[in-house]
Amino acid sequence: MRYGEKLNVMIDFNALNIDQSAKDNIAVWMNGSYDEQTKQAIEVMAANPVELNESFYRHLEFGTGGLRGIMGVGTNRMNRYTVAMATQGLANYVRQCYPAGEPLKAAVSHDSRNHSREFAEITANVLAANGFKVYLFDGMRPTPELSFVVRHYGCHTGVMVTASHNPKEYNGYKAYWNDGCQLTAPHDTGVIDQVLKIQHLEDVKMTGGEKNIEIIGEELDKIYLARVEKNSLNPDIIKRHAGIKIVYTPLHGTGIVLIPRMLRQLGFTGVNVVEEQAVPDGNFPTTPSPNPEEHAAMKMAVDLAKKIDADIVFASDPDADRVGVAVKRPDGDWMLLNGNQTLSVILYYLINQWQEKGMLRGNEYVVKTIVTSNLPADIAQNAGVKVYDVLTGFKYIAGKIREVEGKETFIGGGEESYGYMIGDFVRDKDAVASCSMIAEIAAWAQEQGKTFFDILVDIYLRYGFYKEGLVSVVRKGKSGAEEIKQMMANYRSNPPAAICGDRVVCVKDYQLHTSLDLTTGQSSPIDLPTSNVLQFFTQNGMKVTVRPSGTEPKIKYYFSVRATLDSAANYETVNAELDARIEAIKKDLQLV
């Protein structure tokens, strides 16, 4: 297979040391109806066989949550063609799930990343060409608003073009079902099967449905924000403390569209936006990574907080579903909360206020994921509120809501990876609603003469001091994926007998659906969907979870330890002890 007229060269791709699958995929693209610029880019890549192989050795996997990958030319990259083919597969699946002739509807939004608007328009065009009525936002909007609009318009599906908090090289594509939730069984695998059948661009309907696209914007913003405002439990407290100093950064993402506006709508007057990071920019020029879980991403916001002596700091990721929070300690320094801590404070406040206002009727519940701290569960159970544990990912939280909808009342939920949900009108993590509630909690704390940090310490004093840690081991490319697979196989066949000298007494394998009590030798079933996750519980209460990331080339290790905090004055001492325990676990597992 040769092609090279435009560059006046002859390239024999078959002679290159690359996988046969890559050669086959290259042949399809070079001989197919792909644009000349793409074909020339493939020729240029021939000078780097490793890059060429990585770009074409497989088709970009449409996982259970959609697409995510590095942008570029190739079957294993995010580009206009892989987006179009994935959308055709999605359209085919949705169509077969409903009676012939039923009018179908879809909603499409996107974040601030490079090519996101282009990919969103391609997605809308393919869906429209397949006969869908498509609601396309006039510009970037947060992920939670997309989820809301799917429900508001009664859409059959929705797509959010985003790679969430990944580095700038990435883009992605989250697919939603008719309840505003990301795809769950059986629809997740059903869509995947249909996407795999789309092997050629000729299988995709690209044009002809433009009249089916309706551009939406401000009118939906108003409806969504009005619903977020209803979450407020103490508008009177907000009025009394409207001037609390809030620092917010959207990290060059979609949060700038709605979060400052929502805070002002609630009545907060002291909102300070990090101006350098307020401009939407897919290159994320002021931070090495637009991930509010990382200290570097929060630095400019914390610096501003120190300068103006702020009361609370928060940041949203590019698609405004995750939130990072920083709080001021008694010594005046600032501390970044992890997702477990923020979730614990949010649920503590919600449950406390539901109790005070007589809103608990006995059928309320919260939802957390299996890798999240047990502190939120302790808070809820102490108040008589039911707790559901689900697999990692907000689609499982939303799935539980769907399962008990109409029978039980959802208060809130979340996961350790900085995602939270208040109320069930959105079925994905929601930074707009979360930032609004965090600001309200800061005002509530001030009403009591306290800070957000003081509320966290109050929780530790009452329920125990929980501390968590996370290590992500990155293994990129084909070889990295194989290495991660082998690492999980090794843990499964040879689990640790002890961690830091603390005997492992229970192993939970969510792939095999078994919980094995090593003390008695008895095995019990786990009633959750299959997931490649292992958990090790020790005699003295440590929990270690190991799982491959579903969206990034890494394997993740989660650690949880606990101690008693008998007084606020001992916070630093106990905190240091728990940090030392986590570091010891990392060393024992050879992660440092």
- How big is the CA angle at 583 (ends 580 and 585), to the nearest 5 degrees? 110
How many Cβ atoms sit within 10 Å of the Cβ of residue 320?
A: 31
The pair of structure tokens assigned to 347 is 């649920």
Candidates 164, 316, 344, 436; catalytic one: 164
Are 243 and 270 a contacting pair, CB within 8 Å? yes
Are 54 and 478 a contacting pair, CB within 8 Å? yes
Residues 6+ apart with CB under 8 A from 486: none
Sequence-ordered alpha helix ranges (H) in 19-79 = 20-31, 36-45, 49-56
* CA dist., res. 494 & res. 589, Å (int): 13
SS3 55: helix
Are 538 and 502 a contacting pair, CB within 8 Å? yes
How many Cβ atoms sit within 10 Å of the Cβ of residue 211?
A: 8
In Å, how far are 352, 356, 358 from 383, measured between CA atoms? 8, 11, 12
Asked if 164 is an active-site residue, the reply is yes
Select from 499, 491, 509 the least CA-distant residue to 588.
499
Largest pairwise CA distance in the chain: 78
The strand pair at 246-249 and 502-509 is best described as: unpaired
* CA dist., res. 43 & res. 11, Å (int): 7
Annotate 100-115 with three-state secondary structure. CCCCCEEEEEECCCCC
Sign of the torsion angle spanned by Cα atoms 566, 571, 577, 583: positive
SS3 365: strand
SS3 233: coil
Q: Measure the N-to-C terminal CA separation of the chain; round to a whole number of Å.
A: 47
Are 125 and 210 a contacting pair, CB within 8 Å? yes
Reported as type and span, the H/E element at residue 516 is strand 514-517
| Residues marked as catalytic | 164
